[in-house]
Structure 1
């Protein structure tokens, strides 16, 4: 499958038209690879480390030509490209090694098998629907019922295990044995949707990037807030994308091993 055909297939599932006005989905850097057989490295964030990983894969004999990322490389208008600038270096390496970068961000957040939908599937949510509908069958976040009620402690253990996250932050509670049956999830930065999650009758909201006052807001709304980290809540959808691409006649596709959580905890 050529790169142009892969992108056509993807955009029939995840249209760039569904992105937010402030977002920048689609081609970030296109180095003239459209007619080449697609060899794809999927990542959450197109960092310099991921670009160097792609170059290393080329040196091992795989002519990789596309980095497929969730987060945009270019989000704001570029005013200059100067030596020593990170964007300049990534762009230089992209053209030097003919490795293009394509991004699906807020449009990928909304769809079936996108960031939030996969998160809901990991928790086996039943009757899952968007927290914030945008178009038919599309929207931000998911809310649904667990197959059977669990204690809050049991659910924390499941989230920790399934998402492979080092730490979980959660609302102050004195009852770890509280029964939880209805859960809302939103992969990535979902703190701004706390009030919407509370309106769904969810007892718990799993997301990331929550601040002090947002935990207070959630508590006052009667909603348990669990922050599992940006990387942990979005990386599973990248893995799902790899699985879907492998079902296509794509010559080579793998998940990046150089994606980083960027958060470390001591001790």
Structure 2
């Protein structure tokens, strides 16, 4: 059995929810239809004519890309322009394109975490906060016989987290009353008779990102026909999601040594470096893509060096004057997302029993060449 496109996109939005993206980012399904079975999926950084041809040769019906195939508004769709010709080729070959960009950068276990892991950074934190998970308090009244079952279902669905502590709840014994009316099928008591039941008032924390999942799991595990529960927002900060990561190397090394680490980690032939090669490096900020505007964030975070792409001349001068070292491996270093995302999606599909195959593109979409 092959997964339908909608199922695959749901999995993608499980990993990288759309609301994690920065405002006005061009994400989601951009070309084609997801309303069909997908036998093969191709994961790529960019969608180019060569990548489209690769997808066609693989028999892939869906391309998942990091960079948008339609980024700027199209005034027309002419096939004698590069953008129009690319769109026409995708439509002719019936290949859909789905974009996961800054939402994949921002999410836990996404591009910036993959880059930080490649550099072996520990104790990671977010460089710039983009989204904070709103917290809710869930209160549900459960008969004693099903208390553990309902509580475990809530925890398994993602409820009960406070910081680095999981399975957090508060439980109070009490007496519930209800009178089953005509047409009801009560778990306890009889129609027309006032019932008193020993119940547990179960309270826990639920983040917005898993609220629907937790409530659904709670209702499914609860034995009552009509479940008495409350869900209300609270003025407490949940987990933060954002662009870039800040962490530490296991041991201090020189900027020159660290530059070699970056080249190896991101499989690039060279890097551009700002700063004294003998400078000791321990705390590192890393951000995929274009990161010149995040230099001040790295300084504020106390980083010794910022690893990011597309650094311009004046930004490099400003960083040097401020004492911030920079390693620029290029924007294309984000290609690290191809094998990581392909492996994640393949595992998710396999767990659900789908035969859909996922491939990481082998096409090098780096536009720059060294001479």
Give the alignment's TM-score, normalised by structure 1: 0.92
1:25 to 20, 24, 27: 27
Distance in 1 (alpha carbons) for counterparts of 2:250 and 2:4: 41
Aligned equivalents of 2:288, 2:41: Cα separation in 1: 23
What is residue 61 of structure 1 aligned with on the other side? none
How far did residue 37 of structure 1 move?
3.1
Larger Rg: 2
**Residue 77 (structure 1) shift:** 2.0
Number of residues of Structure 1 aligned to a counterpart in Structure 2 = 257
Indicate the residue corresponding to 1:251 in structure 2.
356
Q: Is residue 96 from structure 1 mapped to residue 92 from structure 2 by the alignment?
A: yes
Cα deviation 1:72-114 (Å, max 9, x = unaligned) = 0111222101131122222222222211000011111101222
Q: Alpha-carbon deviation of 1:38? A: 4.4
**Bigger proportion of residues as strand:** 2
- Offset of residue 36 of structure 1: 0.4
Question: Hey, what's the Cα distance between the residues in 2 that align with 1:2 and 1:83?
Answer: 29
State the match for 1:219 in structure 2: 320
TM-score, normalising length: structure 2: 0.67
Unpaired segments ≥5 residues, structure 1: 59-63
CA distance 1:113–1:238, shift in 2 (3 Å): farther
CA distance in 2, matches of 1:236, 1:137: 23
4+ residue runs over 4 A deviation: none
Aligned to 2:301: 200
Residue 216 of structure 2 aligns with which residue? none
Cα RMSD for the two superposed structures: 1.4
Distance (Å, rounded) in 2 between the aligned partners of 1:143 and 1:84: 45
Q: How does 1:160-179 map to 2 (within 5 A)?
A: 160-173=263-276, 176-179=277-280
Aligned to 1:82, the other structure's residue is in SS state coil
**Which of 108-117 and 200-209 deviates more?**
108-117
Q: Does the 8 Å CA contact 2:20/2:107 hold for their aligned counterparts?
A: no
Mapped to 2, the partners of 1:20 and 1:202 lie a distance apart of 24
Quote the offset at 1:161 in angstroms. Answer: 1.3
Question: How many Å separate the matches in 1 of 2:117 and 2:266?
Answer: 12
Matched residues in 1 for 2:362 and 2:62: separation? 15
Contiguous gaps of at least 5 residues in structure 2: 132-238
